[in-house]
Structure 1
Amino acid sequence: MTTPTPAPVYVRTPAHGFLNSLSVDRVLARYDLAGSIAHAEMLGHVGILSASEVETLRGGLRRIARELAQGSFDWREDLEDVHTNMEVRLTELVGSVGGKIHSARSRNDQVALDERLFLRAAIHSVAQRTHELASKLLERARQEIETPMAGYTHLQRAQPVTLAHHLLAHFWRLQRDVDRLLATAARSNVSPLGAGALAGSTLPIEPDRVARRLGFDHPFENSLDAVSDRDAFVELAFDLALLSVHLSSMGEELVLWASTEFGYLRASPGLGSGSSLMPQKRNPDVAELVRGKAGRTIGDLLALLVTLKGLPLAYNRDLQEDKAPVLDALSTTEATLAALNSIVPDLQFERERMRETATDPALRATDAAEHLVRHGVPFREAHDRVAAHIAAHGGRFDRPEGGAGLEPGLSAAAWTFDPSDPLADRLSPGGPAPVAVRRQIELADARMRIAQSSLSSLGRLTGLIEELLQEEPK
């Protein structure tokens, strides 16, 4: 039976609190334990540890995992980081053999590994929530294929579209966000363990064995790069910042649409709250906060880039500051996605108001110019004719009787488009006509299936960590 080793006593200095990162990096604890199990198994395979030592270490590490899950783990603030907390507790449980777990390993490659494992799980979580929001937008679009509305440029009515087409524009943004997150996960699926402090080890280690055990594609190519690289965190921070910008755009439109001036969206309890003073007000608070949260994630990206910009190779303590901005960006984005996922299914659109704006004759001015183009008029000339017609009618566009003033030499029968049906001729691929939108939805469904397959594969990799931390079957 192994005799437990008393916990070491660490002397606190005035700078200790400044160096301490436990408040931030304790989120890495389970990944740290899983990495240690894989590392111990590799050390056993190459003969640095005996089989019984590997089993002892594995049992101790899994017990710590249970303590974490049960909330009974005693975090020691006098130990400066998550790695020291895990190793000290392991030594308390299994004795001096616990000190062997750090053979051929540095905290430099250890934290790099923990971050890669954490990043994999974090990407899966935020990508899944983004995928869910995209799915809900797609379902709402299916219901609004025949709902016309005005499309806007410069926040002014421009051309007729459908509500489905507008919702799908946001869908495709989110779909790219999911693709981008998955690409970051794939590109960062490289194990840094075995790089040591910066120059590997003189011991006969096998980094590729650890990489396979933890679900990585392969181990690092360069030990200096492995311990100093934070590209994956930067890429994730960028992905989250851009995703937040896309969500902010949605939030801005919800704010506008809920206003009396637009009147496209009925105020609902899920979208906001009332005024503390004005009884008639319903403020779109949720949408406004969705818009506002983007500032934080953009700031987190900048904070991370500034931290990294002047660092020489290899590891520097500045890298301790990499986690806080990424964790903040993750929690902010997850909260924003949760809010939008809760309100999108219940949005109440004012379809008659949308239809009214879509049938504004002014929105057909471009159609009139293209009508002339179909009859051989150069586009610039057609554009000028329509513009002159609008100017001559007090800034309004009304269909001229028999094409008067627009089509010299063309018969009245040549004037074929009908301003009362704003979408009749918009059949170009990717356009807003119902037939084109239905084709677009078919493409969207196919992309959703591909994304879900990729998310499932990433989820299986994430599940490897929990499998490592489970008890061996008896």
Structure 2
Amino acid sequence: MTNKESQLWGGRFKNSPSPALKAISSSIEFDWRLARFDLLQTWVHAQTLVDANILTLDDSEKLLVCLTKLSQEVAAEEVSFLNTDEDVHTAVERLVLERLPDIASKLRTGRSRNDQVATDFRLFIRHEIRELVNLLVDLSYVISSTARLVADLPSPGYTHLQRAQPVTLGHEIAKHLHPLLRDIERLQQLDPRIAVSPLGSGALSGSSYVVDTEKVAKRLGFDCAASNSIDAVSDRDFAVEFLFIASLIGTHLSRIAEEVILWTSKEFGFANLDDAWSTGSSLMPQKKNPDIAELTRGKSGRLVGNLVSLLVTLKALPFAYNRDLQEDKEPVFDSFDQLKLILPAMSGLLETLSFDWERISALSGADYSLATEVADYLVRQGVPFKDAHEITGELVMFAEEQKVSFSDLTDVQLSKISPHLDPGVRVCFSADVALKSRLSISGPAFDKVIAQIDNVEKQLVIVKLWSSQNPVVLL
């Protein structure tokens, strides 16, 4: 087959494409990834052509065998594209033509690459987000298991990276479950917006052969057909939404990574990295570096960049399909690939992290982080909070000047600061007591943390069931 014969266009051109044109136009090296989805929608389109009496039932049966075999060969990497293939659609048509020339020559009837690529792209994202959800669930179980293990361990809580109030380490770690659950929910909510079929929209104005687009949509496993053929071939909102979710997942993972980096520093000394999940230095023999966490933090910027890249590409596209949309796939593919690298790595890193329980517990009430408990005690004694805040501030200042903790102060010293600071205030000088008083459902008390983790794990069971039911069934 000559280069011109392999093109899906060219009848009105006298001259062949220039090398520079072919170089900038070619997308086969990255959109070949859509080959199995293109084969699936080719099969659905063939059924439509049977309905339109363009193909016979015998043709469709032969085609199904051919397309199924090709899909399996693509999956096994037994067939691939040629450099002369402009894109995945050209490659798939060539492969089918080589095996069923008489039938394959009719497949382009009523179909454009514009509705093809929009369909393939939706099928791909819809298929792949299930795997992404599974990886998020796996990471969430690692986090919930770790949080459960240290659910009752007193720990410093931080604001502005300064010790603020005691929490439990389980509560601190479990906080990361909720952003991940929201990420999963966003991916689930995106699914019905992806499940709108563009196939049958043609280049922009539909097709006289593909009339029942709702039937086409059902055959593809979509919920419905697009309502406007121009919008169908030009819409990439679903890709932008995915990239936003991916960038937000990256942001959430970056926050976890930053905490691991801090926890495992000598300055914090809260946790130790497992040898199998850390690296060393080529110069400094003593180093043990949190490379997984640092790479995760770094790749979050890449994920945000992919989102911005597609948004800028889309911002001024007129009318229907424009070739600018060829630039939509690489950011999406890259974001999937990066998250598939990051999520298992972070799961392994967190699962093997070991904590210094004694140090963490010892610091849970350090740096006067029980001051709020003292203020609350004064309020319970009838002191207005404005005054209680002032008195407690004076207590902190005095203890700092003496370079002692609250519990080191004598009753006389306490009463000199304020008569309201009676001996009963000493009950506030314990992180354990402070934690037991935090009884709201969102608080750090042990039983509340366990209930929080139990609730999350129940949700994860339901999510796992959803992700196991993939509506995109490849040939």
Structure 2 vs 1, CA of residues 294 and 409 (structure 1 numbering), >3 Å: closer, same or farther?
A: closer
Report the Cα distance in structure 2 between the residues aligned to 1:73 and 1:217, rounded to whole angstroms. Answer: 32
Kept in 2: contact 1:5–1:91 (CA 8 A): no
Which residue identity does 1:434 align to in structure 2? Answer: F
User: Which stretch has the larger CA shift, 441-450 or 299-308?
Assistant: 441-450
Which residue identity does 2:18 align to in structure 1? Answer: T
Report the Cα distance in structure 2 between the residues aligned to 1:214 and 1:37, rounded to whole angstroms. Answer: 9
Q: Alignment partner for residue 155 of structure 1, among 156, 161, 169?
A: 161
Please show how residues 236-251 of structure 1 align to structure 2 within 5 Å: 236-251=242-257
Structure 2 vs 1, CA of residues 348 and 193 (structure 1 numbering), >3 Å: closer, same or farther?
A: same
Kept in 2: contact 1:7–1:92 (CA 8 A): no
Provide the secondary structure at the position in 2 that maps to 1:23. Answer: helix
Offset at residue 259 of structure 1 (A): 0.7
Provide the secondary structure at the position in 1 that maps to 2:435. Answer: coil
Partner of 1:404: 415
Report the Cα distance in structure 2 between the residues aligned to 1:334 and 1:205, rounded to whole angstroms. Answer: 39
Report the Cα distance in structure 1 between the residues aligned to 2:192 and 2:254, rounded to whole angstroms. Answer: 27
In structure 1, stretches of 5+ residues that fail to align are 470-474
What is the RMSD of the two structures over their aligned residues, measured on CA atoms?
2.2
Q: Alignment partner for residue 138 of structure 1, among 144, 161, 164?
A: 144
Which residue identity does 1:8 align to in structure 2? Answer: E
Offset at residue 267 of structure 1 (A): 3.1
Q: Please give the per-residue CA displacement for 1:229-282, whole angstroms capped at 9, x wherever unaligned.
A: 001110111111110111111111111111110000113213322222222221
Partner of 2:13: none
Please show how residues 309-388 of structure 1 align to structure 2 within 5 Å: 309-360=315-366, 362-388=368-394
Partner of 1:472: none
Provide the secondary structure at the position in 1 that maps to 2:430. Answer: coil
Offset at residue 7 of structure 1 (A): 9.6
Structure 2 vs 1, CA of residues 449 and 104 (structure 1 numbering), >3 Å: closer, same or farther?
A: same
Report the Cα distance in structure 2 between the residues aligned to 1:409 and 1:277, rounded to whole angstroms. Answer: 59
Report the Cα distance in structure 1 between the residues aligned to 2:464 and 2:250, rounded to whole angstroms. Answer: 21
Matched, 1:450 2:442: no
Offset at residue 162 of structure 1 (A): 1.0
Report the Cα distance in structure 1 between the residues aligned to 2:70 and 2:307, rounded to whole angstroms. Answer: 33
Structure 2 vs 1, CA of residues 70 and 289 (structure 1 numbering), >3 Å: closer, same or farther?
A: closer
Offset at residue 42 of structure 1 (A): 2.1
Please show how residues 87-166 of structure 1 align to structure 2 within 5 Å: 87-166=93-172
Q: Percent identity?
A: 40
Report the Cα distance in structure 1 between the residues aligned to 2:277 and 2:201, rounded to whole angstroms. Answer: 50
Structure 2 vs 1, CA of residues 409 and 418 (structure 1 numbering), >3 Å: closer, same or farther?
A: closer
Offset at residue 126 of structure 1 (A): 1.2
Q: Compute the TM-score of the two structures, normalised by the length of structure 2.
A: 0.92
Please show how residues 194-209 of structure 1 align to structure 2 within 5 Å: 194-203=200-209, 205-209=211-215
Offset at residue 219 of structure 1 (A): 0.8
Matched, 1:430 2:427: no
Offset at residue 5 of structure 1 (A): 12
Offset at residue 192 of structure 1 (A): 0.9
Structure 2 vs 1, CA of residues 234 and 409 (structure 1 numbering), >3 Å: closer, same or farther?
A: closer
Q: Please give the per-residue CA displacement for 1:310-349, whole angstroms capped at 9, x wherever unaligned.
A: 1012100000000011111111111011211222211111
Q: Please give the per-residue CA displacement for 1:365-398, whole angstroms capped at 9, x wherever unaligned.
A: 0111111222222222211111122122326651
Provide the secondary structure at the position in 1 that maps to 2:363. Answer: helix
Provide the secondary structure at the position in 2 that maps to 1:270. Answer: helix
Offset at residue 405 of structure 1 (A): 5.0
Q: Alignment partner for residue 174 of structure 2, among 168, 185, 191?
A: 168
Provide the secondary structure at the position in 1 that maps to 2:81. Answer: coil
Q: Please give the per-residue CA displacement for 1:104-147, whole angstroms capped at 9, x wherever unaligned.
A: 11110110000011001221111110111001111111111111
Which residue identity does 2:436 align to in structure 1? Answer: A
Matched, 1:13 2:25: no
Matched, 1:222 2:228: yes
In structure 2, stretches of 5+ residues that fail to align are 8-15
Kept in 2: contact 1:104–1:205 (CA 8 A): no
Matched, 1:45 2:42: no
Matched pairs, number: 460
Kept in 1: contact 2:243–2:303 (CA 8 A): yes
Report the Cα distance in structure 2 between the residues aligned to 1:186 and 1:408, rounded to whole angstroms. Answer: 64
Provide the secondary structure at the position in 2 that maps to 1:404. Answer: helix
Which residue identity does 1:441 align to in structure 2? Answer: I
Matched, 1:417 2:423: no
Which residue identity does 1:429 align to in structure 2? Answer: I
Provide the secondary structure at the position in 2 that maps to 1:417. Answer: helix
Q: Alignment partner for residue 178 of structure 1, among 180, 184, 187?
A: 184
Provide the secondary structure at the position in 2 that maps to 1:282. Answer: coil
Offset at residue 415 of structure 1 (A): 6.0
Matched, 1:252 2:274: no
Offset at residue 406 of structure 1 (A): 6.3
Kept in 2: contact 1:145–1:164 (CA 8 A): yes
User: Which stretch has the larger CA shift, 253-262 or 38-47?
Assistant: 38-47
Q: Compute the TM-score of the two structures, normalised by the length of structure 1.
A: 0.92
Q: Please give the per-residue CA displacement for 1:390-438, whole angstroms capped at 9, x wherever unaligned.
A: 1223266515655625663676447643425242322222111102112
Report the Cα distance in structure 1 between the residues aligned to 2:283 and 2:334, rounded to whole angstroms. Answer: 34
Report the Cα distance in structure 2 between the residues aligned to 1:405 and 1:224, rounded to whole angstroms. Answer: 79
